[in-house]
Copies of this chain bind each other. A is one copy, B any other.
Amino acid sequence: MKIAFKKIIVTLIIMLGTAPVSADEGMWLYNDLPRQLLKDKYAFEVTEAWLEHIQESSVRFNSAGSGSFVSEDGLIITNHHVGADALQKFSNIEHDYYRDGFYARTRKEEKRCLDLELNVLISINDVTDRVNAAVKANMSAEEAFTARRGVMAQIEKESLQKTGLRSDVVILYQGGLYHLYCFKKYTDVRLVFAPEYQIAFFGGDPDNFEYPRFDLDFCLFRAYENDKPVKVEHYLRWNSNKVKEGDLVFVSGHPGNTSRQLTMPELEYLRDQSFPYKMQRLHSLEVMLLAYSSRSDENARRAKKDLFGVQNSRKLMQGRFEGLLDSSLMMQKQADEQHLRASVAKDPNAEEILPSLDRIANAQQIIAHNAQQYSLLEAADGFNSTLFHIARTISRAVEEKTKSNEERLREFRESNLESLEFQLFSEKPIYDDFEQVKLAESLTWLVEQIGYSHPLAQKVLAGKSPGTRAAELVSGTQLKDVAIRKKLYSGTAVEVEASQDPMIKLARLIDSDARALRRIIEIQEEINHQAHAKISQARFAVEKTSSYPDATGTLRLAFGTIKGYEENNQAVPFQTTFSGLYDRAAAHHYKPPYDLPPCWIARKDKLNLNTPVNFVSTVDIIGGNSGSPVINRNGEFAGIIFDGNLQSLVLDFAYTDIQARAISVDSQAIVEALQNVYNAGELANELTGKNRR
């Protein structure tokens, strides 16, 4: 760790000077690729057919993550940790598929996921002009926000009606562009194969975000329609050759969030308020989950996915925070912004920059002022309970559905209701004891944050301690019963208002406060969007280089080369092998998190130990890219992204390729394991196309 910290900084100093896009930087829009750069640097020509093929082979996991089709029969590969949500949901005290893995030897055995929705991007349309036309120059920020939300809901509804496709207007360049994304949607998704948690996440928290690594972080689903596997036109062929150092590779996936185009006040807000809050929130959650898990194997099973998520976020947040606390990063960001401000004098296109920066600074102050309560109430950090979320969704839905499509909170827009209901009526397991522990911890957090005497704390606790209050809420609610959810959801607002269900009452109790906070934040975000749009336009005009927007969970194409790096004056090789996996397990005496599943011990002799397991590349990725295919020049599946190294955590703020690396599972490891550890030769054949006619 210590070395990692030091090295990150050295790296940043070197690379931050290069202002626009350099090296292998960029999470590119599919409709705005750096074709010339790829041609010049890599002699790679992007064709429309190639692009369409990759795009439609790419899959978005709505549980957060990426994946890709890898057989004509609708087989989809993603990370084990992306599939985790589904794995956890159909596990129970008898069968822990999340921990022990799963293999459907026949199609019939493939297990249908409870509430997993997958999306495949079919088309992109620029609707910036139409969105901006709805927002008149003389509108207040509040009116502008309402108008913009309205026109977006309208565009989405029209598109859904016209195409039948899931239709989302996405915001790019912090408000510079609005694109309409249309998706083919799959809601009958079945689990085909998952390895054991222990081999997927070998090395656990200590090895997370580190390299060299030895993780088999993949699993396989299949998309169905009409109870039959879908036949897909676009899927990635398995790579026929081994990857080599220096190979050009592409990554197609859904990076979730980056902060590269943020202004100084926005970055300072992250450093001074948002990250400290989030770090502390994560610490409290992690301690609660660990304490709960330590009580029994069954508790540990129930909390496993949440714990993975929290620990992953904590390590990520720590690296990002450490980056922001390094003055060299912020000084470079400051210098970049000074440079932008200075350009005003030189270029008439830049005149909007200064007032826009001021507007952002101002909006950011208001956001900062309301952020804590927003996090507690609207983001529900104070109400960490699945049952609470169900209660809130129902009580808001019945109210929102009485409004016009344009006027609704965005998640209740008509075009989104089907997806929302799919989640709301999921038969996923809910455990009373776990709900209670989570809710008690979050109510305690609420009180810690705003103070016991705050009217909000008073009304939420109603004179009881957090533990007692959580117990009465969880034991009193009937929302575990999906039939009751459906009945309330399809009822009227008046009926829900009259409900005596304690969780519904709690959701209603804080709803006007929560909505008011959301309104405040949304309006300031509208101001930010407008200001960032002006800055983006000025930047395009001034810099005249091709660029890419900050990540927002939309499909992007990134590229880079497979490449090792140096650390402590030692070469870190570009790939690891099974042999290294066994060595590392032995060095740690096979003790968790370095233990190996029994079949990996038993079958060691069957394996080619020289098979590569993981490799690193300079591709520009971030959280959300998990599960993205790594694609070679031939458009073949060469591996799957599952992590970045510690040095890559600052990619949130700026790209670097000195030491920052994306980490992938090698396609060869997957096939080798399926064949020789799991006796899943048929599945391996489906992947490698040996079954293909």
Knowing that A206-B295, A268-B453, A283-B286 touch, tell me 8 more A-B residue pairs with CB under 8 angstroms: A4-B467, A5-B467, A5-B468, A6-B468, A206-B291, A271-B452, A272-B451, A326-B465
Closest B residue to A299 using CB positions = B206
Q: Does A464 lie at the interface of the complex (its beta carbon under 8 Å from any beta carbon of B)?
A: yes
Task: Say yes or no for A204: interface residue by CB 8 A criterion.
Answer: yes
Q: Using Cβ atoms and an 8 Å threshold, which residues of chain B touch A315?
A: 291
- Taking CB atoms, residues of chain B closer than 8 Å to A2 are 433, 436-437, 440, 467, 470-471
Q: Is A498 an interface residue (CB 8 A)?
A: no
Contact of A294 among B204, B287, B294, B321 (CB under 8 A): B204
Contact of A9 among B4, B280, B284, B468 (CB under 8 A): B468
**Taking A471-B5, A588-B296, A591-B297 as contacts, is the C-beta distance between A323 and B287 under 8 angstroms?**
no
In the complex, what distance in Å separates the CA atom of A5 from the CA atom of B433?
13
Q: Please, what's the 1-or-0 string for A288-304, where 1 marks a CB less than 8 Å from any CB in chain B?
A: 00110011110000000
A96 to B85, CA, bound (A): 40
Instruction: Give the chain B neighbours of A286 by CB distance below 8 A.
Output: 283, 287
CA distance A296 to B284 in the complex (A): 24
How many chain copies?
Answer: 2
Find chain B residues with CB under 8 A from A326 CB.
464-465, 468
How far apart are the CA atoms of A318 and B440 in the complex, in Å?
11
Q: Is A314 an interface residue (CB 8 A)?
A: yes
Q: How far is the CA of A447 from the CA of B272 in the complex (A)?
A: 8
In the bound complex, CA of A446 to CA of B283 (Å): 15
- Cα distance A1–B276 in the bound complex, in angstroms: 29
**Is chain A's binding surface mostly helix, strand, loop or mixed?**
helix
Q: Say whether A598 faces chain B, with CB atoms less than 8 Å apart.
A: no
Partner of A452, one of B272, B465, B468: B272
Chain B residues lying within 8 Å of A272, measured Cβ to Cβ, are: 451-453
Which residue of chain B is the closest to A433 with respect to CB atoms? Answer: B2
A453 to B4 Cα, complex, angstroms = 24
Verify B287–A314 contact, CB threshold 8 A.
Answer: yes
Closest to A325 in B: B465
Q: Check A279 for interface membership: any CB of B closer than 8 A.
A: yes
Q: Say whether B447 contacts A327, CB under 8 Å.
A: no
Give complex CA distance A440, B2 in Å: 9
What chain B residues lie within 8 Å of A448 (beta carbons)?
Answer: 276, 279-280
Please encode chain A, from 178 to 221, with 1 for each CB lying within 8 Å of some chain B CB and 0 for all others.
Answer: 00000000000000000000000000111000000000000000
Within 8 A of B (CB), among A453-508: 453, 461, 463-468, 470-471
Task: Report if A444 contacts B (CB, 8 A).
Answer: yes
Q: Does A593 contact B (CB under 8 A)?
A: yes
Instruction: Report the minimal beta-carbon distance from A579 to chain B, rounded to whole angstroms.
Output: 21
- Please give, as numbers and ranges, the residues of chain B lying within 8 Å of A451 by CB-CB distance: 272, 276
A to B CB contacts below 8 Å, 11 in the list: A1-B437, A2-B433, A2-B437, A2-B440, A2-B471, A5-B465, A5-B468, A6-B467, A279-B284, A279-B444, A283-B283
Residues of B within 8 A of A279 (CB): 284, 444, 448
Most chain-B CB neighbours within 10 Å: which of A323, A463, A591? A463
- Quick one: which of B9, B206, B276, B453 contacts A465, CB cutoff 8 A? B9
Interface 1/0s, chain A 249-274, versus B by CB < 8 A? 00000000000000000001001100
Residues of B within 8 A of A471 (CB): 2, 5-6
A589 contacts B by Cβ under 8 Å: yes
Taking the closest CB of chain B, its distance from the CB of A588, in whole angstroms, is: 7
A637-653 CB mask vs B (1 if < 8 Å, else 0) is 00000000000000000
A 317-341 binary contact with B (CB < 8 Å = 1; else 0): 0100111011110000000000000
Q: Which residues of B contact A280 (CB under 8 A)?
A: 280, 283-284, 448
- Tell me the minimal C-beta distance from A575 to chain B in angstroms: 23
Residue ID in chain B nearest A319 by CB atoms: B467
Asked if B297 and A1 sit within 8 Å, CB to CB, the answer is no
In the bound complex, residues from chain B placing their C-beta under 8 Å from that of A294 are 204-206, 593
Nearest B-chain residue to A293, judged by Cβ: B206
> Which residues of chain B come closer than 8 Å to A206, judged between CB atoms?
291, 294-295
Most chain B Cβ neighbours within 10 Å, of A9, A440, A444, A465: A465
A325 neighbours in B (Cβ, 8 Å): 444, 447, 452, 461, 465-466
Q: Bound state CA distance, A6 and B327, in angstroms?
A: 49
**Whole-angstrom distance between the alpha carbons of A354 and B475 in the complex?**
45
Whose C-beta in chain B lies nearest to the C-beta of A280?
B280
Complexed CA–CA distance, A272 and B458 (Å):
13
